[in-house]
Structure 1
Amino acid sequence: MRKTALSLSRLWFAGTLLLAALSVSAGGRPAEAGRGNDELVLVEREIACNTDPAFYPGSNHYVKNGAAELLFKVDPQGVVQPSLAEGIEQADPHTWRIRLRPEGRFWSGKSINAESVVASLERSRRTNVRAAPFLEGLSFKPLDSWTVEVTTRRENLSVPLSLSYMELCIINADAPHTSVETMDMSGMYRVVSFEPKKRMVLERSPNYYGEKPIIGRIVHEEISDAETRVLAILSGRADIVMHIPPEHMAQFDGRKDVVLHTTPPASTETVYLNLSRPQLRDVRVRQALSWGLNRGELVLLGAEGRSFPVTTWLGSNPRYRDSGGGIYDRYDPERAGALLDEAGWKLEKDGLRRKDGAVLSMRLMTWGPGKAVGEAIQHQWTKLGVAAEVRHGDYSLIQTARETGDWDALIEGWQTFGDEFALLSGQFAPKGTANYGGYDDAETNALLEELSNAGTEAARRELAMKVDARVAERAPCIFLYPRPEGVATRADLKGYVDHFRKFENAINAQLHFE
């Protein structure tokens, strides 16, 4: 039986939600919720911890709740569309010109002109490490009040796609983003109160330049426990709940008062390996750990069968589902064992592998919804003779372990949709911000250099697939499946648009209750 550790306050809260769930009538919110149709409650696993969007997890949450905007956004079909920008044109292989909306205003009423856009992007470059890969090789300058010129080091880089990344929201860089009173963004909703990592309240911005939202007030709440999040939507206390893990999706079967949205995201569940650890410096050991995983079983145990196996990082991207054919294309424990034997890790009578007296061990760190798949990996690696253990906890523990270098393996999922060079270099270039394990491979680096200079979409795709295959073969990471997560909405809430980029597409102006 699965056990969930809840604090007393969480238990009390869960109990009140359960009582509400039992009393709610199908199709509507319970009367005790005390809310009219002008307030929407958005709940997810975590919310921003700081009023400054440069602090993780920040920018994507402000985009998600309608407080912040990007110059461009990706629609549900994967097409980049103007948002704060009015349009864009390419002048030559290295130059693009963005046209801004003259009517654009920050919450304060300050005009969103070319100078303020450039200042915001440069602030992101300086202060937001997660924005860095998408600004690499880009320079910006105002041509006039409403035109920003973008110069790219790479030829034919898709600037609209790069600037649609969630960490590049446009804010007033001259404002001190240190409090609710001084933060200054551009979205349809303005933050009016904020308890970090707990609750944020937003109301319509009177200076919003675009389509005014129908609903006047957004309450954005953090509930870290998955079961409590599910109870929040089933009780009617919440109207949109993000991060419904696979093991809870069956609770929505047959419900008429709740809609579950399950469009697969472009995000690969990945086991990152620390290549500075002695046992992981040998590529044969890393390859053995990958061959020794039954990905079909991991999908069943870790994703409740609601995903599909992938063997490369880009495998979750709809454009690259055919990437990596023939690499770890089956579960092969015999091949894994042979590789470990070849690397000198011999299986002994106690079922463990040793080399020079040392046991082959792996500590796998998981967080959030990763516990189940972590335990399944532990079981499969143990059958190879690896002394595997799982350490499950808060994401901050993983961050600390990465900073100190005290880790063997960890599970995390990054989005795989976007500019191929920016994404792949961020993951696998020697100085990539998500290259947690310190992967540095001459052939991969050369392919990335070619990719950075590719002039056509066809050339970019071919080189991206070569990088993807090379990385999978060298196994600095092990790729499992597209990370499945559902979004639940109240049936009486209309206008929600399901999207493969769920992390930045929740609130829109057309949302309303019937």
Structure 2
Amino acid sequence: MSNQIIRPALAALLGIGAVALVAFSVAPQAANATEKTMRIAVPFGPKSSVPDPRARQNGWLSNRAGVSETLIGLGHDMTMQPRLAETFENLSPLEWKLTLRKGVKFHDGSTMTAQDVKASFEKLDQEGHPGHNPRLSRLLGIESITVEGDDTLIFRTKSPNSAFLWSLTEPSAAVLKDGTDELPLIGTGPFVFDLAEPEKTYLTRKFADYWGGEPKLDRIVMDALSDPSVAALALQAGDVDLVTHYPEPDFAALKEKNAGQLFSMPTTRLFFFQVRTADGPLANETLRSAVSLGLDRKTIVAAALNGVGGDVANAIFSASMHSWANTNMTLDYDPEKAKTLLDEAGIKDTNGDGIRELDGEEISLKIRSYEGRAALRPTLEITQALLQQIGISSEISMAEYDANNEALKAGEIDMHLQAWGTAPQGDPDYFPSTLVETGVGYNFSGYSNAELDELLKKGRETFDDEVRKSYYDRVQEIINTELPLIPVFHKTQVSVGNGKVEGYGIHPAETYLVTPDLTFAE
């Protein structure tokens, strides 16, 4: 029999039974009324019962939950900051020296050493280990790690990698010890992992010996509520204390009334379509250009985000990324130009039914997205209507994220609407190198461009930021021209608290949430 506490207020409000509220489960010890427990509604939950932060995207959840930490952090100004490493420096194009912070303790009470750090990073390449992460391993490109004493490491990369230190800020680059039955995940953060229910709940308790000071809260419960409207109702019912991704229409209404505890911050998150370019109708570059020209991004932002949740995208990087955005670029809305391009390419409606044909077949694009971010579904629906206006039919549907990727990779769908942080590491290499470089793991488009590949390679090997910017400016131009990715808008995160949340701030890279200072106002 499972130990679950089901809050009747939410069940009554939603008109559903307690069985449907399995997302709101909590370990028995977390129910202690004398402890300060904060319940936070987040859009995505853990992928397994013991989600190793180094694997897949697990690190984002555990980093936000305050369980795992990286050697280097990102400040709110998107600059590198000391975290578990107190100092870091480039010794040569291939060598990096990091000196660890003294006195850092793991959750089992042991002191973190350079040997522990080395052992943790070696798991990234160990097939079969829960921390195996080929994607991060490729980004880091580590050839060897040399330990010098208890607190110094020399990382040597296989080739010059100017993004190396930035890559160490990624949540997946977490430092952990091997888990035990009692402590399945042993990190260094302000909170200790208790348990996880896949896709539902992530529970933690405070770590009194945290190097950054004892946390002010005793426990954190992260409830995965993929429907933002349900999360908003949970807040109204008092079943959660903070909703990190509040539905934009409701946020706009609260803002208009000057009501609620509101938090808002532009982020580096981009809503975009990943397009199947290797085969299918969108292998045709003219058709891709027409699709982009047919998107009225201003209308999408106004309708899907209610004017509070984002800005029109003109490239993959937002203007707030001052160091790397190519601000000379635009992605225009011009349906008449789209129609002209299609007509000139012979992609016409020959039977008068309003749908254009390509190679003798009516165009019907299969477009998917996924739940978890409120703006995805309306963006999909508006896109369908806009494309219809230029003679392009589409079938839209929502499905599971990984299943969508597999379908795109297999050519079963033509476009996948997604929302990614374009610079979770603060560096411009991550996003294009992960999605559009030839043969990389998330390049489900089947896209390949030799010039872009060479630019990304040079960008990683060059240590002069001015020269690097010229490379990434050109990368952005190629993406806007060939459109393996079609940017739509840059997201502003909106959150709402119960009026008592203190010490919470939205990070522009969205990689941090729980800190020792997070608490309730007295």
TM-score in terms of structure 1 length: 0.87
CA distance in 2, matches of 1:70, 1:313: 26
1:457 aligns to 2:454 (yes or no): no
Give how far 1:14 is off. Answer: 5.2
Q: Which runs of 5+ in 1 are unaligned?
A: 1-8, 20-32
Are 2:401 and 1:398 aligned? no
CA contact (8 A) 1:180 1:192 kept: no
- Partner AA of 1:465 in structure 2: D
Shift of 1:325: 2.7
Correspondence 1:343 to 2:345: yes
> Which residue does 2:70 correspond to in 1?
70
Q: Could you list the per-position Cα deviations for residues 370-391 of structure 1 after superposition, in whole angstroms to 9, with x for gaps in the alignment?
A: 1100111111111111111211
> How many angstroms apart in 1 are the aligned matches of 2:490 and 2:9?
34
Distance 1:346 1:11 in 2: 57
Partners of 2:365 and 2:395 within 8 A in 1 = yes
3-state DSSP of counterpart to 1:134:
helix
- Corresponding residue of 2:39: 41
Letter in 2 for 1:218: I
- Uncovered stretches (5+) of structure 2, i.e. residues with no partner: 1-5, 17-30, 127-131
Q: Which residue of 1 aligns with 2:27?
A: none
Contact 1:351 1:385 in 2 (8 A): yes
| Alignment-mate amino acid for residue 73 of structure 2 | K
Q: Is contact 1:324–1:468 with CA below 8 Å preserved after alignment?
A: no
Deviation by residue 1:51-98 (Cα, 9 ceiling, x = unmatched): 122454411111111111111111111121111112212323332211
Please give the per-residue CA displacement for 1:304-345, whole angstroms capped at 9, x wherever unaligned. Answer: 2232211211236522685263543x2111221222223331
Q: Is the 8 A contact 1:48 1:57 kept in 2?
A: no
The 1:277–1:317 alpha-carbon spacing in structure 2 relative to 1, beyond 3 Å, is farther
Deviations 1:106-145 (A, max 9, x none): 2122332112212212323441245245323564322222
Shift in alpha-carbon separation, 1:421–1:277, aligned structure 2, 3 A: same
- Tell me which amino acid in the other structure corresponds to 1:165: E
Which portions of structure 1, spanning 4 or more consecutive aligned residues, are displaced by more than 6 angstroms? 9-12, 254-257
- Alignment of 1:444 with 2:452, yes or no, is yes
Amino acid at match of 1:13: L
Specify whether residues 67 and 460 from structure 1 end up closer, same or farther in structure 2 by C-alpha distance, changes over 3 A only: same
CA distance in 2, matches of 1:143, 1:219: 39
Question: CA 1:298/1:320 → structure 2, altered by over 3 Å: closer, same or farther?
Answer: farther
- Tell me, in whole angstroms, the C-alpha distance in 2 between the residues paired with 1:511 and 1:12: 25
Deviation at 1:202, TM superposition (A): 1.3
Aligned to 1:112: 112
Equivalent residue in structure 1 for 2:378, among 369, 372, 385 = 372
**TM-score (structure 2 length as normaliser):** 0.86
Which amino acid counterpart does residue 395 of structure 2 have in structure 1? Answer: E
Deviation at 1:405, TM superposition (A): 3.7
Aligned: 1:318 with 2:321 = yes
Residue 85 of structure 2 is matched in structure 1 by 85
In structure 1, the residue matched to 2:238 is 236
Are the equivalent residues in 2 in contact too, given 1:140–1:148 (CA < 8 A)? Answer: yes
The 5 A counterparts of 1:135-154 are 135-136=140-141, 139-153=144-158
Mapped to 2, the partners of 1:189 and 1:322 lie a distance apart of 36
Q: Which whole-Å CA distance do the structure 2 matches of 1:180 and 1:298 have between them?
A: 49
- The one-letter amino acid of 1:372's match is P
Aligned-residue sequence identity (percent) comes to 24
- Corresponding position of 1:95: 95
Shift of 1:37: 6.3
Of the candidates 476, 479, 485, which is equivalent to residue 471 of structure 1? 479
Structure 2 counterpart of 1:167, from 160, 169, 172 = 172
Alignment deviations for residues 223-269 of structure 1 (CA, whole Å, 9 cap, x no partner): 12211111222333222211223233124336777422110110111
Q: Distance in 2 between matches of 1:83 and 1:18?
A: 46
Post-superposition CA distance 1:141-196 (Å, at most 9, x none): 22222111122355472543221112211111x336xx664322222211223322
Please report how far the alpha carbon of residue 489 of structure 1 lies from its aligned counterpart in structure 2 after TM superposition. Answer: 2.2
Question: Aligned residue pairs: how many?
Answer: 488
- Residue 208 of structure 1 deviates from its aligned partner by 3.1
